[in-house]
Amino acid sequence: MRSWLSNEDWWAVWLGLLVVLLALPAASGYDLLGWLAAPGIWLDPAKAVGPISKSFAGFPKVASVLLTYAAVLGLVGLGASVQRFDLRRFVPGFTVIFGISYLSWLIGHYAYIAQTPDKRAAMGLSWSLGLTGEAGYIVALLAGLAIGNVLPGLAGWLKEAARPEWYIKTAIVILGASLGIKAAAASGLVSAIMFRGLAAIIEAYLIYWALVYFLARKYFKFSREWAAPLASGISICGVSAAITTGAAIRARPVVPIMVSSLVVIFSVIELLVLPFAAQAFLAHEPMVAAAWMGLAVKTDGAAVASGAITDALIRGKAAGAGLAYEPGWMLTTTTTVKVFIDVFIGIWALVLAAVWVYGIEKKPGQTLPIRAIAERFPKFVLGYFFLFLALLGAALARPDALDGLKAATAQSDLLRSLFFVLTFFTIGLGANFKRLRAEGIGRLALVYVISLFGFIIWIGLAISWLFFHGVHPPTLGGS
C-alpha cells in the first residue's frame, strides 16, 4: 500500500484536512458542523453540553453527542480501515475510549473545577479551582492512568484504538488552521513565536544532545548503539527521535523501542508535574512557560498536552488577577516549538548518519541511509504548515472574511479539543509504570532521571526564558 495511505502520520494529515474542510463553509454561513456537541461550564448536568452553533440551539443534546461520536468514529474508522487495523477490536475499543474521554471532558467542565475566579459570582459560586474546562484533559489522563495500571486487562482490550500519537498529530494539523487565523490578526506575534521557537529548539538540541550522549557514554558506559538513541530520546524529541536516530545509525530495533518505553513513562510524569510548576512560578511569563513545555516534555502527545494544561492553568490564574488572556496562545507556542523539534529530528539524524558512516563505522561502500531518514520524516508537520499558510493566505486575501473564518475554525477547534481529550486518556492508558520494575531497566532509567531532572528541564527553562521572557499573549478585548 502507498505510504501516504498506510501510516498514522499521513492519516493525521488527511483527517485534519477533512475536519477543516468540513468546518470552512461556516465562514460563508453554511453550517455543516454546527450540531457538534460542545461542553460548557455547568452546575446543572442538563446544561453540561449542547450544539456548538447557535443555529442548532433547538437540536436535541443527546442527538448532538451521539452524532459527534458517530462523526469522530467515522473519521478515525476510515483511517483505521485503510491502515488495516483490526476493526473488530478498534470500533468497540474506540467507542469505550470516546465514552470515557468525553465523560472526563464533561467532568472537567464542572463549575467548581473549571470556573475562573472572575466569573464565579455570575454562577453564584463562592469558590472554584479555576482550572478552566481544560481540566477535563487532566481528568481524562487520570482515568487513563487508573485503567492502564489497575485494570491492565481492560487496557489491553482497548489497545487497538489507544493511539495517542495519531490523535495528537491530527489535533496538531487542525491547530494549524487556527494558527493561520491568529497570524492574520496578530502577524507580529505569530512570526515572533515561530522565529523564537525555532531558535530555542536549535539551542536546546545542540546542548541537550551532546550532554546526554556524553553522560551515557562516559559515565554509564553505554555503547554507541544505545547512547545515540538514548540521547535523542531523552534530550528533547522523545519517541520519534529515538526511532529516527536508531534508523540513522542502523541500531537494532530493540534499542529505540526500549528507549521509547521509558520516554512514554517519564513524559507522563512530566505532564503531571511541569504545568502545575509553570502555573506556580511562571504565571507572569506565560510564553516562557509554554516554550518550556515544548522543550522539556517528551513525545508530541505529552508536550502538546502539557501546553494545553499550562494554557488553561495560567489563564485561570491570570483571570483571578483581572487579566484575561486570549486562549490558545500558550498552546500555540508549545506546539510550534514541538513541530520545529520534529522537523529538526531529520536534520540531526542526517548529521549523525554522516558521522557514523564516515567517522565511526567506515565500512567500504556504505552510504547515508537518507531514504530511511526521509521515510521517518513526520508528515503531519506538512499538514500543520499547509493549513497554517492556507488559512493565513485566505484571511489576508479577504480581510472581510476574517470573522467568518474565525467562526469556522472555532468548529474545527472543537474537534481538535476532542482529539486532545482522546490523546490524554490514551497517554494515561499506555503508561504502564510496572515497566519500570523490569529487571535491568534501572541503568537506562537512571541516565534518564539524571539527565531530565538534572539539566534538561533547567536548560530548557533557561533557553525559554532567554527567547520568550517579556512576550505576552493578547488579552481579550484587545487591551
Is 258 one of the binding residues for other proteins (CB under 8 A)? Answer: yes
Q: What is the Cα–Cα distance from 374 to 384, expressed in whole angstroms?
A: 18
Q: Where are the alpha helices (DSSP H) in 109-162?
A: 111-114, 120-123, 135-150, 152-158
- Candidate list 23, 141, 239, 319; residue touching other proteins; CB under 8 A: 239
Query: What's the one-letter identity of residue 154?
Result: L
- Count the residues in the chain: 479
HSE on the CB side for 312, CA within 13 Å?
23
Nearest approach, Cβ of residue 7 and other proteins (Å): 5
All three cell numbers of 139: 481528568
Among the listed ranges 87-95, 119-127, 181-189, 446-454, the one in contact with other proteins (CB under 8 A) is: 181-189
Nearest approach, Cβ of residue 403 and other proteins (Å): 19
Nearer to other proteins, 31 or 342 (CB): 342
SS3 49: strand
Nearer to other proteins, 241 or 418 (CB): 241
Is 183 one of the binding residues for other proteins (CB under 8 A)? Answer: no
β-sheet bridge partners, residue 386? none
Q: Distance of CA 131 to CAs 78, 204, 304, 314, Å? A: 35, 30, 17, 9
Closest by CA position to 72, among listed 132, 16, 4: 16
Interaction pattern, residues 288-307, with other proteins; x per rule: CB under 8 A: ------------x-------
Cβ-contact 408, 34 below 8 angstroms: no
Nearer to other proteins, 119 or 472 (CB): 472
- Candidate list 58, 188, 322, 365; residue touching other proteins; CB under 8 A: 188
Nearest approach, Cβ of residue 238 and other proteins (Å): 9
134: enclosing H helix or E strand: none
Is 189 one of the binding residues for other proteins (CB under 8 A)? Answer: yes
Q: Which residue has the cell 535491568?
A: 440
- CB-based contacts of 87: which residues, under 8 Å, 6+ apart? 77, 80, 81
Is 250 one of the binding residues for other proteins (CB under 8 A)? Answer: no
215: enclosing H helix or E strand: none
Query: What's the one-letter identity of residue 62?
Result: V
- Candidate list 55, 81, 191, 366; residue touching other proteins; CB under 8 A: 191
Nearest approach, Cβ of residue 32 and other proteins (Å): 30
Is 264 one of the binding residues for other proteins (CB under 8 A)? Answer: yes
Is 152 one of the binding residues for other proteins (CB under 8 A)? Answer: no
Q: Which residues from 438-467 bind other proteins, rule CB under 8 A? A: 438-441, 443-444, 466-467
Nearer to other proteins, 270 or 342 (CB): 342
Is 164 one of the binding residues for other proteins (CB under 8 A)? Answer: yes
Nearer to other proteins, 35 or 348 (CB): 348
Is 479 one of the binding residues for other proteins (CB under 8 A)? Answer: yes
Interaction pattern, residues 370-389, with other proteins; x per rule: CB under 8 A: -----xxxx-x---------
Q: What is the Cα–Cα distance from 191 to 304, expressed in whole angstroms?
A: 19
Cβ-contact 296, 456 below 8 angstroms: yes
Q: What is the Cα–Cα distance from 99 to 144, expressed in whole angstroms?
A: 12
Is 5 one of the binding residues for other proteins (CB under 8 A)? Answer: no
DSSP 110: B
Q: How many chain residues bind other proteins (CB under 8 A)?
A: 78
Q: Which residues from 418-437 bind other proteins, rule CB under 8 A? A: 430, 432, 435
Q: Which residues from 342-371 bind other proteins, rule CB under 8 A? A: 342, 345, 355, 359-360
Nearest approach, Cβ of residue 410 and other proteins (Å): 21
Q: Which residues from 31-70 bind other proteins, rule CB under 8 A? A: none
Is 240 one of the binding residues for other proteins (CB under 8 A)? Answer: yes
- Candidate list 30, 195, 281, 433; residue touching other proteins; CB under 8 A: 195
Closest by CA position to 132, among listed 319, 333, 334: 319
DSSP per residue, 28-69: GT--SSTT-EEE--BSSGGGSEEESSGGGTTS-HHHHHHHHH
Nearest approach, Cβ of residue 300 and other proteins (Å): 7
Nearer to other proteins, 38 or 162 (CB): 162
- CB-based contacts of 307: which residues, under 8 Å, 6+ apart? 290, 293, 294, 330, 331, 333, 334, 335, 338
- Candidate list 37, 71, 169, 311; residue touching other proteins; CB under 8 A: 169
Is 186 one of the binding residues for other proteins (CB under 8 A)? Answer: yes
Q: What is the Cα–Cα distance from 396 to 184, expressed in whole angstroms?
A: 6
Among the listed ranges 14-22, 100-108, 113-121, 159-167, the one in contact with other proteins (CB under 8 A) is: 159-167
Q: Distance of CA 402 to CAs 242, 262, 409, Å? A: 41, 44, 10
- Candidate list 55, 81, 223, 367; residue touching other proteins; CB under 8 A: 223
Q: What is the Cα–Cα distance from 103 to 97, expressed in whole angstroms?
A: 10
- Candidate list 253, 393, 399, 454; residue touching other proteins; CB under 8 A: 253
Q: Which residues from 78-97 bind other proteins, rule CB under 8 A? A: 83
- Candidate list 110, 222, 292, 420; residue touching other proteins; CB under 8 A: 222
- CB-based contacts of 2: which residues, under 8 Å, 6+ apart? none
